[in-house]
Structure 1
């Protein structure tokens, strides 16, 4: 047996913080999509342990009971004699939902294997605010604390470069540094954008409200954004989530892949990858 599931990187193309609840959770309004870059989960027979972690970004990642993959597996039940193998390609604590994407992929994988229904919405949300959108795997508007998912206008076909300067920015610290907690929501159009240019014009009018406090905590993010904006043929750049990963958009695959080489050549210690932008299923690379 070797069932596999792709865990696509989540990208907050725009992220507005619109308030804060009495329990401390922040209210968000975000346009979310996915990249053809991510981790991969495998269900394997005869495993010596419930979870084995491999891959270039797996070093130092705990496979203990607090791992989100195992927490997700406990919701579905991991059959005796089977184990999970996580091939980790996304950096940790990076604003692109790596752990949440892994948890969501685990739920899908175990549901496929058993034929059982996925856990209920409350149980999924208990794993983390980004897990519901990663489980849905569709470009959409995400609001509330992450539990409200609504359709968004179709996105144009674009390619996305993701880059992280190898700094971890704790999400709670970024939210604490946010000076204004009540900001205007997204202004989504009622119909799809006429073309990529119209989408990019709209995107430029939106924000990531966490970008400024994240840069205050980690100035390297500002340097990264400057680097991305200077790339040839770049259409747009912004930080995703609470950082430190930032994204750059391109019209063509060739431009995005050249940009990967350009960034890696100048900053060999950074994490850099590129892939198509869209729903998780349509951007999933072949094994």
Structure 2
């Protein structure tokens, strides 16, 4: 039986590696990215009723519940009426999924309520297909090619955002090169050490232009290294960065230290696909 009321997590999306491999004639960039998801994120509550959206949570002030909100657009695309509450726990427009993860969670929740998933979720945004999966994946093309991968090691990590906004188009326009090589073959990683070794041979091609536009990102990466991160990188087009640690205790201590700079910093880990909560 379909669920009458559901709570669906919208985990933070992490581009562990992101290569820009080309640009189409229409201006859209071609990407090759290893995507994973963290154990923290927003939360969506859905129940039957006229279509509506209420936004709560620590980052609610950064969003509007108007007709253009991706949660409402997702419900309309699915042809569903639902009362939606978005508990916004992640910074807005920060390179970790944001509205795409929320829209994908709405679609998953509506499916549990008996509605069919739309045929073209990418109409809502390039990250929506991979966020709909919410599992380790290789994302290619403009985001529409998503290949599910085996589970990644549950590495302790810290997410850090310095509280600045970045324009994604502006970051892409600041790229020095748009025809980079794709990712190397992605193996099955036996442990976090092998994952980190593989990541060291990859890049986030958007990190350097983002750092030029917002030097605070470089400060975050330096601070992650100073607090003991084994590996640190920016996610997506920024400004959120992540750092891998060798224990959950060290990650928690690092997050506490980094919050002293006035940054948003939370300890988490690479997580398995979300289930109903």
Under a length normalisation based on structure 2, what TM-score does the superposition of the two structures give? 0.94
Give CA deviations for 1:1-53 in whole Å, capped at 9, x if unaligned: 64110000000000000000111100000000000111001014667x70000
Structure 1 CA distance for aligned equivalents of residues 52 and 131 of structure 2 = 22
Q: How many residues align?
A: 274
Residues 99-114 of structure 1 correspond to what in structure 2 (within 5 A)?
Answer: 99-113=99-113
1:278 aligns with 2:274: no
**Deviation for aligned residue 1:111:** 1.4
User: After the TM superposition, which segments of 4 or more aligned residues of structure 1 sit over 4 Å from their partners?
Assistant: none
Q: Which of 33, 37, 40 matches 1:37?
A: 40
Q: Which of 74, 85, 89 matches 1:72?
A: 74
When the two chains are superposed, the root-mean-square deviation of aligned CA atoms in Å is 1.7
Structure 1 CA distance for aligned equivalents of residues 43 and 209 of structure 2 = 32
Structure 1 CA distance for aligned equivalents of residues 203 and 45 of structure 2 = 36
8 Å CA contact retained: 2:80, 2:115: no
Structure 2 CA distance for aligned equivalents of residues 153 and 211 of structure 1 = 26
Structure 2 gaps of 5+ residues are none
Under a length normalisation based on structure 1, what TM-score does the superposition of the two structures give? 0.91
Paired position in structure 2 for 1:7: 10
Structure 2 CA distance for aligned equivalents of residues 45 and 118 of structure 1 = 17
Paired position in structure 1 for 2:248: 253
Give CA deviations for 1:200-223 in whole Å, capped at 9, x if unaligned: 111111000000000111011011
Q: Which of 42, 51, 54 matches 2:53?
A: 51
Paired position in structure 1 for 2:115: 116
Structure 1 gaps of 5+ residues are none
**Relative to 1, partners in 2 of residues 1:280 and 1:154: Cα closer, same or farther, differing over 3 Å?**
closer
8 Å CA contact retained: 1:111, 1:117: yes
